[in-house]
């Protein structure tokens, strides 16, 4: 009976375990979970901290009991420290310091990612937080309840930074976001400027700082975030949301090679360079479907899919990860911003000959009540017309995310802009137009590329 050991109890690890059990019901599948919280939706943490989710238990994708009922052994509070790839053993430290040795036939490393350490030392000051794990969330939640801070400074304006700006505002705090280069760099300025406006509209202050140089206690008992010699902002708490890096320490003890972005190098089957060892999720590289090469693109959706592939192969299968397009979406107050594929600049760097257009249109027929403005940027190759990427922004009721998914599906189907225009998409006046905004944007792309500016797709 094959013994499958999986290190990591989040998206990739649990997906791997479930898939392995599904395909090899007789396999002995054990998951080591470093904390007490297997299979939690860490993407939900901002909504717990905002108060929108009142009971953190509901954040579990599955309960421990549900996982165990699939025949999976879950060892909580077990931190894997070392892999012996020759003896096929993992050394782990259990709660209380007890050391254990666990053997494996196949090992899946799904150790995730950890917050980037800031360039200054501040992490350990009281009132300075980061948000990655359930524990991080509990600590911050307790601080919010106990000290009732009135203001917060968030360093970083990526997804977590902006979701937390929303969350802490909802929780009643006055929020300042410190931006290093541009708000939400995952989209182009014409869209991220609208996100900035949405923050302002919701009383979130946005401060542009070349970089943060330090955080210190200030006279009022709060914290001061310094940006160079002159400027600083004050807050009763500081959240560091400056990105994540792959957690590869365990993989390195096994001799796993690192690749793009310092993540564990894998093949399309999620195998590492070490025999019988797989890696999946935020600790591993990501095959990019459009680029045709590995990238580092840590996302929950990808972790689930990579975990499933790793689990299948660890159970003796022959699955391949189809690849990511970097499809992602974030809700910030009333706005939703989504993207898939490449930005214009990324497409250029990758050797495409990209051409990009912008379109603003109502999300549905303007005569039907509740129409809101939808913005889309479409990037495609000038020569082949192959769709390369899209960015969409609109009201969170405006089906922005699934419109991005239509483009993601089109990219996966190797479609051209002309193909987008020919798609048979659904229409009823309360929800779209006879030409969906995605198609209006495709039309605009063809028109502008062809030198004709007259958009007659208002229909």
Site for a copy of itself in 369-428 (CB under 8 A): 369, 396-397, 399, 401-406, 408-410, 412-415, 419, 422-428
Q: Which is nearer to a copy of itself, 72 or 212 (CB)?
A: 72
Q: Which is nearer to a copy of itself, 14 or 140 (CB)?
A: 14
Q: Which is nearer to a copy of itself, 3 or 62 (CB)?
A: 62
Q: Which is nearer to a copy of itself, 275 or 430 (CB)?
A: 430
Distance (Å, rounded) from C-alpha 39 to C-alpha 193? 35
Interacting positions 309-368 with a copy of itself (CB under 8 A): 322-331, 336, 338, 340, 365-368
> Does the active-site annotation cover 43?
yes
Q: Check binding of 293 to a copy of itself (CB under 8 A).
A: no
Q: Check binding of 91 to a copy of itself (CB under 8 A).
A: no
User: Which is nearest to 262 in space by CA: 234, 288, 282?
Assistant: 282
Shortest distance in whole angstroms from residue 424 CB to a copy of itself: 4
Backbone angles phi, psi at 451, to 5 degrees: 90, 0
Shortest distance in whole angstroms from residue 151 CB to a copy of itself: 25
Shortest distance in whole angstroms from residue 279 CB to a copy of itself: 19
Among 350, 431, 448, 449, binds a copy of itself (CB under 8 A): 431
Interacting positions 19-58 with a copy of itself (CB under 8 A): 19, 22, 41, 43-44, 47, 52-53, 58
Shortest distance in whole angstroms from residue 55 CB to a copy of itself: 8
Q: From 138-146, 199-207, 372-380, 431-439, give the range in contact with a copy of itself by CB under 8 A.
A: 431-439
Shortest distance in whole angstroms from residue 271 CB to a copy of itself: 18
Q: Which residues are catalytic?
A: 43
């Amino acid at each position: 009976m094959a013994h499958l050991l999986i290190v990591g109890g989040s998206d990739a690890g649990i997906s791997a375990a479930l898939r392995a059990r599904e395909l090899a019901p007789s396999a002995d599948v054990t998951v080591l979970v470093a904390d007490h919280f297997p299979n939690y939706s860490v993407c939900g943490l901002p909504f717990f901290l905002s108060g929108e989710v009142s009971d953190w238990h509901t954040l579990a994708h599955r309960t421990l009991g549900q996982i165990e009922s699939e025949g999976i052994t879950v060892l909580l509070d077990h931190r894997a420290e070392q892999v012996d790839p020759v003896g096929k053993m993992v050394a782990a430290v259990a709660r209380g310091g007890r050391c254990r040795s666990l053997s494996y036939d196949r090992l899946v490393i799904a150790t995730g990612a950890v917050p980037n350490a800031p360039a200054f030392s501040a992490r350990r000051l009281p009132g300075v937080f980061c948000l990655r794990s359930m524990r991080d969330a509990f600590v911050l939640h307790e601080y919010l309840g106990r000290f009732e801070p009135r203001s917060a400074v968030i360093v970083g304006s990526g997804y977590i930074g902006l979701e937390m700006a929303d969350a802490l505002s909802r929780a009643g705090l006055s929020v300042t976001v410190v931006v290093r280069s541009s708000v939400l760099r995952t989209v182009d300025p014409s869209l991220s400027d609208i996100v900035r406006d949405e923050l302002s509209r919701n009383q979130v202050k946005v401060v542009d700082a070349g970089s943060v140089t330090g955080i210190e206690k200030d006279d009022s008992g709060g914290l001061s975030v310094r940006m160079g010699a002159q400027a600083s902002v004050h807050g009763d708490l500081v959240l560091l949301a400056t990105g994540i890096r792959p957690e590869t320490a365990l993989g390195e003890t096994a001799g796993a090679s690192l690749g793009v972005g310092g993540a564990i190098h894998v093949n399309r089957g999620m195998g590492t360079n070490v025999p019988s060892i797989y890696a999946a999720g935020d600790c591993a590289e990501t095959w990019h479907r459009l680029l045709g090469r590995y990238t580092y693109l840590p996302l929950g959706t990808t972790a689930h899919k990579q975990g499933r592939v790793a689990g299948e192969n660890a159970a003796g299968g022959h699955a391949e990860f189809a690849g990511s397009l970097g499809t992602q979406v974030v809700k910030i107050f009333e706005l939703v911003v989504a993207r898939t594929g490449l930005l214009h600049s990324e497409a250029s760097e990758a050797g495409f000959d990209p051409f990009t257009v912008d379109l603003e249109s109502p999300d549905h027929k303007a005569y039907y009540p509740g129409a809101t403005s939808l913005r889309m940027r479409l990037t495609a190759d000038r020569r082949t017309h192959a769709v390369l990427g899209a960015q969409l922004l609109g009201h969170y009721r405006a089906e922005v995310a699934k419109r991005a998914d239509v483009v993601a599906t089109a990219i996966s189907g190797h479609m051209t802009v002309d193909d987008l225009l020919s798609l048979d998409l659904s229409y009823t006046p309360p929800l779209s137009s006879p030409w969906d905004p995605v198609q209006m944007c495709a039309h605009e792309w063809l028109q502008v590329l062809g030198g004709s500016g007259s958009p007659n797709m208002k229909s």
